[in-house]
Amino acid sequence: MVNQRLALVALAGLFAPLTTASRAANFWRRQAASTTAYAPVPSKTPTITPVVPNTSPSYVDSFVKPYGDAFQLNGMPYYFAGANAYWLMNQTDDWVDSAFGNLSAQGIGVVRTWFFNDGWFHTINGTEQAFNDSPEGIGHLDYVVKRARDYGIKLIATLANNWPDYGGVHYYLHQTGYNYHSDFFTQPELIDLYKGYISHMLNRVNNYTGIAYKDDATFFAWELMNEPRCLSYTDIKSQNCTTATMTAWIDDISTYIKSIAPNTMVTIGDEGWFNNPSLVDNWLYDGFNGIDFEANLQLKNIDFGTFHTYPDHGWGAGTTSYDLSFEWGEQWIRQHRTIGAQVGKPVINEEYGFAQRTDRMSFEQYYYSVTEDIGIAGDLFWSFWIAPPDGSPIAENNSPNSTYTPGLNYYVNDTDWPIIRQHIYNMAQQNLPVGEGDFSCFGARNIFCSETVA
């Protein structure tokens, strides 16, 4: 029997400190190439049995919390490999059933999904905002939350979108007469509208369970926005928007969410851009998008950091030493983990995907190996899809104003699914005790260690 008191063992020395400019410069430029050997690609479903999400009340009714730079649930570590399934809020109940049934069967316990459908869940007209709480509107989310809860699946609930899919910042601007993308982050009228939406959602009482969203441990975290940036391709970019603009907004909104839902974790949903213009002349690292990962992670009400990894979408193909997308992806994962360890908060690789669908197996093996090795607290592939249960054709790209790339989706019958399933299993194994006699450790770097009770 494991003692619930956990001792955080020293992290010192595990990550190179960035104490001098030259060390920092080396760090940003290129970390040592990996020499890890990769297992051969499994040709069929692995024989491992998925560790399915736990549906016991003590698990379902407990909030996931940060524990140093990892997560814990009920005093046990909570490492995970999960999925993005943004579309649950806009599909039928039986489709939601199929999705959670299949996710659970694959051992997936954390799902990130959209808690917005702007123009449908709510309509804005100037400073007026009207909510559609009907069972076809926001009420449908009650079913999503209930079914997640039934399966012991925890939800990362995203409350807005930087992009125009399902409304987003563009919808708010369009309905209020503002033009600059960053007006959303700076104009008091728009901040009030968004806070009004947040308040309405978090205070909602689930029609099936009777539990208010703000009190429901089904929520892993509330998320400010999908990929907030100073810009999008639909709106005018203001030169005034800087990382300071975005950090101030993130501080304000995260504090507001905590004031309503103090038990639920809060995160940003950003892509993890750095703000080190003196170090690297590359848009991922120079603050161009208005995101300073390091500064944002230090905000009081941000519980963990998010980053997204799209190595073959041009993200790794910048200047000089960044032109090898494959190695760039590993570096990107390591850099965020290092900052998380320094700040003392978990970081998750919240979206990753590969445009080269046929080649993605080698990417997956490479990054999973690194992720498991260095103690990334969780990751979520982009994105999970499943055929409609009524047998109608798959329509992956079904959002108004959609920009999603269908080729990025994952189905459980994909040829590389065994690799993902192995990764889901490996991450879950970190939550099981490893040790002998009167001492057990869990997780990467053994940060969860506990004395056992005789």
Ligand X SMILES: *[C@@H]1O[C@H](CO)[C@@H](O)[C@H](O)[C@H]1NC(C)=O
Of 132 and 255, nearer to ligand X (C-beta) is 132
Interacting stretch for ligand X, rule CB under 6 A, among 15-23, 30-38, 118-126, 248-256? 118-126
Interacting stretch for ligand X, rule CB under 6 A, among 16-24, 100-108, 189-197, 320-328? 100-108
Q: What are phi and psi of 96, to 5 degrees?
A: -60, -40
Of 51 and 317, nearer to ligand X (C-beta) is 51
227 catalytically annotated: yes
| 389 contacts ligand X (rule: CB under 6 A) | yes
Of 102 and 342, nearer to ligand X (C-beta) is 102
Please tell me which residue in 227, 271, 350, 364 is annotated as part of the active site.
227
Contacts of 264 (CB under 8 A, 6+ apart): 63, 214, 219, 221, 222, 257
Residue 351 CA to residue 308 CA, distance in Å, equals: 5
Footprint on residues 409-428 left by ligand X (CB under 6 A): 411, 413
Please choose, from the candidates 66, 153, 30, 58, the residue with its C-alpha nearest in 3D space to the C-alpha of residue 101: 153
CA separation, residue 302 to residues 66, 159, 208, 267 (Å):
10, 15, 30, 5
Q: What are phi and psi of 360, to 5 degrees?
A: -70, -15
Contacts of 414 (CB under 8 A, 6+ apart): none
Of 387 and 432, nearer to ligand X (C-beta) is 387
Interacting stretch for ligand X, rule CB under 6 A, among 46-54, 84-92, 270-278, 327-335? 84-92
| 101 contacts ligand X (rule: CB under 6 A) | yes
Query: Binding mask 325-364 vs ligand X (x if CB under 6 A, - otherwise)?
Result: ----------------------------------------
Provide the minimum distance between the beta carbon of 137 and ligand X in the complex, in angstroms, as a whole number: 8
Provide the minimum distance between the beta carbon of 244 and ligand X in the complex, in angstroms, as a whole number: 13
| 402 contacts ligand X (rule: CB under 6 A) | no
Helices (DSSP H) in 211-292: which residue ranges? 243-260
Residue 46 CA to residue 37 CA, distance in Å, equals: 19
Footprint on residues 223-252 left by ligand X (CB under 6 A): 238, 240
Angle between helices 325-343 and 360-374 (to 10 degrees): 20
What is the residue type of 59? Y
- Contact of 107 with 152, CB cutoff 8 Å: no
Residue 7 CA to residue 183 CA, distance in Å, equals: 45
Provide the minimum distance between the beta carbon of 359 and ligand X in the complex, in angstroms, as a whole number: 16
- Contact of 196 with 189, CB cutoff 8 Å: no
Please choose, from the candidates 210, 215, 200, 218, the residue with its C-alpha nearest in 3D space to the C-alpha of residue 137: 200
Provide the minimum distance between the beta carbon of 168 and ligand X in the complex, in angstroms, as a whole number: 7
Bridge partners of 8, per DSSP, are 448
Query: Binding mask 290-309 vs ligand X (x if CB under 6 A, - otherwise)?
Result: --------------------
Q: What are phi and psi of 421, to 5 degrees?
A: -65, -40
Q: What are phi and psi of 171, to 5 degrees?
A: -65, -45
One of 31, 199, 209, 401 touching ligand X (CB under 6 A): 401
Q: What are phi and psi of 185, to 5 degrees?
A: -90, -10
351 catalytically annotated: yes
Provide the minimum distance between the beta carbon of 64 and ligand X in the complex, in angstroms, as a whole number: 24
The continuous run of DSSP H or E covering 378 comes out as: strand 378-381
Query: Binding mask 130-149 vs ligand X (x if CB under 6 A, - otherwise)?
Result: ---xxxx--xx-x-------
Provide the minimum distance between the beta carbon of 407 and ligand X in the complex, in angstroms, as a whole number: 13
- Residue 427 Ramachandran class (φ > 0 left, ψ -120 to 50 alpha, else beta): alpha
One of 92, 127, 278, 397 touching ligand X (CB under 6 A): 92
| 72 contacts ligand X (rule: CB under 6 A) | no
Provide the minimum distance between the beta carbon of 239 and ligand X in the complex, in angstroms, as a whole number: 7
Of 133 and 451, nearer to ligand X (C-beta) is 133
Contacts of 32 (CB under 8 A, 6+ apart): none
Provide the minimum distance between the beta carbon of 285 and ligand X in the complex, in angstroms, as a whole number: 25
Please tell me which residue in 223, 294, 351, 364 is annotated as part of the active site.
351
- Contact of 2 with 454, CB cutoff 8 Å: no
Instruction: Report, as residue numbers or ranges, the catalytic residues.
Output: 227, 351
| Interface positions with ligand X (CB under 6 A) | 90-92, 98, 101-102, 105, 117-120, 125, 133-136, 139-140, 142, 164, 167, 170-171, 174, 180, 207, 238, 240, 386-387, 389, 394, 400-401, 411, 413
